[in-house]
Chains A and B, each alone.
Chain A
Amino acid sequence: MSDLKFGVDKPTAEEREAIDDFISGVGPASIKVNERFVVGGRSRAKDRRRLLLPALHELQSTSGWISPGGLNYICKVLGVPPAEAYGVATFYHLFSHQAPAANEQIHVCDDVACRLQGAEELIKDLKESGYEAKSSPCLGQCERGPAVLIQRIKGKDLAVVAESPKPLTVKNIDKALKENASSEQVTIPQRGTDSLSLLARVGVVNPKSIKEYQEKNGYEALGIALNVGPDKVIEEVTASKLSGRGGAAFPTGVKWRAVADEQGRPRHIVCNADESEPGTFKDRTLMEGDPFAVIEAMTIAGFAIGAEQGWIYIRGEYPVAEEHLKNAIEEAKREGLLGSDISGSGFNFDISLYKGAGAYICGEETALFNSIEGFRGEPRNKPPFPTTHGLFGEPTAINNVETLVNVLPILRNGGSNYAMKGTENSPGTRLFCLSGRVENPGIYEHEFGITLGEVIEAAGGVKDSKEIKAILLGGAAGSFVTAEHLHLPLTLEATREAGVSLGSGVVMVFDESDDLPDTVRRIAEFFRDESCGQCVPCRVGTVRQEEVLARFTQGTSFASDEELLEDLSTVMKDASICGLGHTASGAITSAINLGLLERTT
């Protein structure tokens, strides 16, 4: 790759300066310092390449787009072929490829929950007021839709939701811009209740203060871990029977043991904070309200599996969570709880924060690795699995934010103690994301085994005492159920038996007045937009699936459409590379089976 050819476009002075500053800040210098334990082998050649994604963010926020001159300059500095860098930049929806028409780009969520709250009208109003507004998939703030992300040139991004139960208006956007502030967003209706474990501190302590964190059991678990040693930590996690909360419910203890037993070095622990499953906002709530818990849990995980480097991959639409995590990392370092020789134990551990740029698929673990490494976020074929060939091809444990935070009570109270909550095969508590037509939307913590009906009751029941038409359980990758399922106990085993899934804990309620065919079509559109495009069954299949549903909502269906939809579903499930293709038809098939697409009026 010695003689790469670059284009003729030059960066502006401002772009050059921003990129130079960025590279000298986090670039070669810090690579050198960390190299001792961070990079080795195959990754050495890639230590520049992995600066590509953050460099693109730098360029986007400096100029408002990925300008040819700016991209060219990045390519020269990092030694990346321009065609490849362009391929990476065009993969992400938060990077623009046209010179900006305005100082701010407003992304309005018109996904499943927000379109019930007038998202489409808001987009129209914003455009009429002269704003550059466009629709966005779920922004992870479904409890108070329609949600908005404001992306700005040379200013921090703002996440805006309504302050009151009334939906957002153009005035709220004006105000947020004037005050240069994101909205207060964490909604924990059970706040301060004694039974809370994962949410005990959320909304109670100041998320920016390590002191307040420590006063409320913070860093006790790390102390215990350093005391008992890595093997005992994994033993406790295994005894707790903790399973992954990112969707697949894989036993965490088994995953950690596998990585700890690998000979290869370095090893990595990755925190999957890409949370982009429509209807999901639990990880954001944890990161915004209790960021030190995420940092402490990752440190423990790193200690247990023998990793000296941790990575957090957070979706690009979470400016508040990002800021709180950054602060937590800095504070923890200042207190000697992160960095070299943590608490005098001899254990070294550091955390890098990577920011996504608008791509649901980057939540898939191997796509996430590619994204950090500076490549397109395309999933890899499995096997091999991350435990042996993960980030940079090295042994890696990757866990969801909520999964990691569970490790703290497990260590503090013991694994078998933890397993007493919940049910035999689904121990512990779980976060549920309630949105749609419930009285009190927000994040709830319940023991596994609670029924679906009880979960909805705890959120104040259906809004305005209307009839439930359908419930989206587990997210867009989950499935629809109806009032017939209200007695279903929410455990891994019971949901599996019922042919549904808890997924990421989404419980989104629709009432009799809601337009379900439109909701189902929007879900199909989501998968069409978010497919990475790598494999044929999903790249074209999600398009054809959305076309069938669009024809249906327009009343122009073909006679053979039902059969086509079934075939598409079978083949996407059977022949796609990754979970996106495997689950892209699940909610749609369930809606059809439940008769939700039949028009009653």
Chain B
Amino acid sequence: MNEIPVGTPRSKIEIQIDGNLVKAPEGSTILDACRQEGIDTPTLCWAENLTPVNVCRVCVVEVEGSRTLVPSCSRPIEDGMVVSTDSDRVRKSRKMVYELLASSVDMDRSTSEVKDWMEHYEVDSDRMGEKTEIATVAQPPKVQDSLYVRDYERCILCYKCVEACGEDAQHTFAIATAGRGFDAHISTEFDVALPDSACVYCGNCIGVCPTGALVFKTEHDMREAGTWNEQDQEVTTTVCSFCGVGCNLELHVQDEKIVKVTSPADHSVTSGHLCIKGRFGWQHAQP
């Protein structure tokens, strides 16, 4: 992930996407090639700073010769590949993935990108039945410290937080997937409270969560009180002053108060990841 790209130009491969010939560098995924062509593709479990786990299946495309649909986020392109990104099959699967999620998970606080796609595919999860009568992941939020909240009834099990906490960034391994099937969930060992786990409060898991299941306590409290207002927030970019590494910080400010801190995923130093000081240190600097 943090490898510095070597200077030799990669050879280009020619494939067909939605009837158009496309040239993309060898080693690209179908998703890379789509983005290069400006073809919007939904993703949930993919992030540019994490290794693809290809579990959500919302990015699937049709590849000629393949019996099933193919996850575009992880499949490398091959010479002569013929890809359709908007066929009936593709639309049907993408729509249903959102429907299955929305029928079991509270998606209200998802990113606007997620919401836009759900609208685009005219998601109707009601046909699965009343939420009170079918299986869902409904549960009370875990508020175990003053820094952040884990609200797992919003969790779509995209594995991003596990990756960020483990091999892709933090190497802390405080959280992992436990249980199986529909009972699978993100957990510490024996579900101990976060302060008793290996967690170092870097907040990197918060940074990658697409559905608002992991949030700063400030954000959680403001949302519960109805005072959270993303439109009114200003984002200022600065460099963290706690040490000499030089991490970029984005301070989200509402009503002259810092309400959360992020870092750009494409930043060369952080790849979007921070430590406890950058992520939460402002709580002490706050006027």
A84, A528, A568, A582, most chain B CB atoms within 10 A: A84
- Of B35-43, B173-181, B262-270, B277-285, the one with at least 4 CB within 8 A of chain A: B173-181
User: How distant is the Cα of A577 from the Cα of B55 in the complex, in angstroms?
Assistant: 8
**Taking the complex as formed, is A318 at the interface, i.e. its CB lies under 8 A from any CB of chain B?**
no
| Minimal Cβ-Cβ distance residue in A for B184 | A533
User: How distant is the Cα of A588 from the Cα of B62 in the complex, in angstroms?
Assistant: 26
B55 engages A547 (CB within 8 Å): no
Which of A7, A83, A539 is the one whose CB lies under 8 Å from B176?
A83
Within 8 A of A (CB), among B109-139: 127-129, 134-135
Residues of A within 8 A of B128 (CB): 544, 547, 564
User: How distant is the Cα of A576 from the Cα of B70 in the complex, in angstroms?
Assistant: 9
A539 engages B157 (CB within 8 Å): yes
Which of B69, B180, B190 is the one whose CB lies under 8 Å from A533?
B180
A86 engages B101 (CB within 8 Å): no
**Taking the complex as formed, is B182 at the interface, i.e. its CB lies under 8 A from any CB of chain A?**
yes
| Minimal Cβ-Cβ distance residue in B for A86 | B189
Residues of A within 8 A of B177 (CB): 87, 376, 533
Interface residue count on the A side (C-beta < 8 Å): 50
Which of A82, A540, A575 is the one whose CB lies under 8 Å from B60?
A575
* Per-residue interface assignment for chain B, residues 41 to 64, with 1 indicating a CB less than 8 Å from any chain A CB and 0 otherwise: 000000000000011111010000
Residues of A within 8 A of B156 (CB): 536
Within 8 A of A (CB), among B165-210: 166, 171, 173-184, 187-190, 192, 196-198
A532 engages B180 (CB within 8 Å): yes
- Of B90-98, B223-231, B233-241, B246-254, the one with at least 4 CB within 8 A of chain A: B90-98
Which of A1, A537, A558, A573 is the one whose CB lies under 8 Å from B57?
A537
User: How distant is the Cα of A4 from the Cα of B165 in the complex, in angstroms?
Assistant: 13
| Minimal Cβ-Cβ distance residue in A for B52 | A381
Minimum CB–CB distance for A524 against chain B, Å:
13
| Minimal Cβ-Cβ distance residue in A for B78 | A383
Minimum CB–CB distance for A265 against chain B, Å:
25
**Taking the complex as formed, is B212 at the interface, i.e. its CB lies under 8 A from any CB of chain A?**
no
* Per-residue interface assignment for chain A, residues 523 to 545, with 1 indicating a CB less than 8 Å from any chain B CB and 0 otherwise: 00000111111111101111110
A5, A571, A576, most chain B CB atoms within 10 A: A571
A87 engages B55 (CB within 8 Å): no
Contacts A81-B176, A87-B178, A542-B181 known; A571 to B198 CB distance under 8 Å?
no
Residues of A within 8 A of B92 (CB): 567, 570-571, 574
B71 engages A536 (CB within 8 Å): no
| Minimal Cβ-Cβ distance residue in B for A80 | B173
B180 engages A91 (CB within 8 Å): yes
B181 engages A560 (CB within 8 Å): no
User: How distant is the Cα of A463 from the Cα of B249 in the complex, in angstroms?
Assistant: 75
User: How distant is the Cα of A82 from the Cα of B197 in the complex, in angstroms?
Assistant: 9
Contacts A4-B173, A540-B101, A564-B128 known; A83 to B189 CB distance under 8 Å?
yes
* Per-residue interface assignment for chain A, residues 18 to 53, with 1 indicating a CB less than 8 Å from any chain B CB and 0 otherwise: 000000000000000000000000000000000000
A1, A81, A376, A542, most chain B CB atoms within 10 A: A81
**Taking the complex as formed, is A71 at the interface, i.e. its CB lies under 8 A from any CB of chain B?**
yes
Within 8 A of B (CB), among A326-343: none
Minimum CB–CB distance for A218 against chain B, Å:
40
Residues of A within 8 A of B54 (CB): 381, 577
B97 engages A536 (CB within 8 Å): yes
Residues of B within 8 A of A87 (CB): 176-178, 187
A7 engages B190 (CB within 8 Å): yes
User: How distant is the Cα of A4 from the Cα of B172 in the complex, in angstroms?
Assistant: 7
B93, B134, B183, most chain A CB atoms within 10 A: B93
Contacts A574-B60, A575-B57, A575-B97 known; A83 to B188 CB distance under 8 Å?
yes
User: How distant is the Cα of A359 from the Cα of B183 in the complex, in angstroms?
Assistant: 14
Minimum CB–CB distance for A136 against chain B, Å:
15
Minimum CB–CB distance for A563 against chain B, Å:
8
Residues of A within 8 A of B58 (CB): 536
User: How distant is the Cα of A87 from the Cα of B156 in the complex, in angstroms?
Assistant: 17
**Taking the complex as formed, is B144 at the interface, i.e. its CB lies under 8 A from any CB of chain A?**
no
Within 8 A of B (CB), among A1-21: 1, 4-5, 7
A537 engages B173 (CB within 8 Å): no
Interface residue count on the B side (C-beta < 8 Å): 48
User: How distant is the Cα of A7 from the Cα of B191 in the complex, in angstroms?
Assistant: 12
User: How distant is the Cα of A558 from the Cα of B129 in the complex, in angstroms?
Assistant: 8
Minimum CB–CB distance for A301 against chain B, Å:
28
A533 engages B157 (CB within 8 Å): yes
User: How distant is the Cα of A39 from the Cα of B177 in the complex, in angstroms?
Assistant: 28
A534 engages B55 (CB within 8 Å): yes
B55 engages A535 (CB within 8 Å): yes
B179 engages A4 (CB within 8 Å): no
**Taking the complex as formed, is B23 at the interface, i.e. its CB lies under 8 A from any CB of chain A?**
no
Residues of B within 8 A of A91 (CB): 178-180
User: How distant is the Cα of A535 from the Cα of B74 in the complex, in angstroms?
Assistant: 14
**Taking the complex as formed, is A393 at the interface, i.e. its CB lies under 8 A from any CB of chain B?**
no
**Taking the complex as formed, is A85 at the interface, i.e. its CB lies under 8 A from any CB of chain B?**
yes
Which of A68, A530, A540, A560 is the one whose CB lies under 8 Å from B190?
A68
**Taking the complex as formed, is A90 at the interface, i.e. its CB lies under 8 A from any CB of chain B?**
yes
Residues of B within 8 A of A558 (CB): 127, 129
Contacts A530-B181, A543-B135 known; A82 to B57 CB distance under 8 Å?
no
Within 8 A of B (CB), among A569-593: 570-571, 573-577, 582
Contacts A83-B197, A87-B187 known; A575 to B178 CB distance under 8 Å?
no
B134 engages A571 (CB within 8 Å): no
User: How distant is the Cα of A567 from the Cα of B99 in the complex, in angstroms?
Assistant: 11
Residues of A within 8 A of B179 (CB): 90-91, 533
User: How distant is the Cα of A85 from the Cα of B188 in the complex, in angstroms?
Assistant: 10
| Minimal Cβ-Cβ distance residue in A for B171 | A1
Which of B68, B93, B135, B178 is the one whose CB lies under 8 Å from A547?
B135
B181 engages A86 (CB within 8 Å): no
A532, A535, A541, A547, most chain B CB atoms within 10 A: A535
A533 engages B57 (CB within 8 Å): no
User: How distant is the Cα of A71 from the Cα of B171 in the complex, in angstroms?
Assistant: 20
**Taking the complex as formed, is B211 at the interface, i.e. its CB lies under 8 A from any CB of chain A?**
no
Contacts A540-B100, A571-B93 known; A85 to B189 CB distance under 8 Å?
yes
* Per-residue interface assignment for chain A, residues 123 to 147, with 1 indicating a CB less than 8 Å from any chain B CB and 0 otherwise: 0000000000000000000000000
**Taking the complex as formed, is B85 at the interface, i.e. its CB lies under 8 A from any CB of chain A?**
no
Contacts A359-B180, A540-B103 known; A86 to B187 CB distance under 8 Å?
yes
Residues of B within 8 A of A567 (CB): 92, 96
A90 engages B178 (CB within 8 Å): yes
Minimum CB–CB distance for B20 against chain A, Å:
24
Residues of B within 8 A of A539 (CB): 157, 181-182, 184
A71 engages B103 (CB within 8 Å): no
Minimum CB–CB distance for A179 against chain B, Å:
34
| Minimal Cβ-Cβ distance residue in B for A537 | B57
**Taking the complex as formed, is B89 at the interface, i.e. its CB lies under 8 A from any CB of chain A?**
yes
Minimum CB–CB distance for A499 against chain B, Å:
15
User: With contacts A93-B180, A547-B129 known, what are 12 further pairs, Cβ within 8 A?
Assistant: A5-B197, A7-B192, A86-B190, A532-B180, A533-B180, A533-B182, A535-B56, A536-B58, A571-B96, A575-B97, A576-B68, A577-B55
A-B contacts, 6 of them at CB < 8 A, read A84-B176, A92-B180, A531-B181, A536-B97, A547-B134, A575-B60
Q: A residues within 8 Å of B by Cβ?
A: 1, 4-5, 7, 68, 71, 81-87, 90-93, 359, 376, 381, 528-537, 539-544, 547, 558, 560, 564, 567-568, 570-571, 573-577, 582
Ranked 5 nearest A-B pairs via Cβ: A533-B184, A81-B173, A82-B189, A540-B100, A5-B198
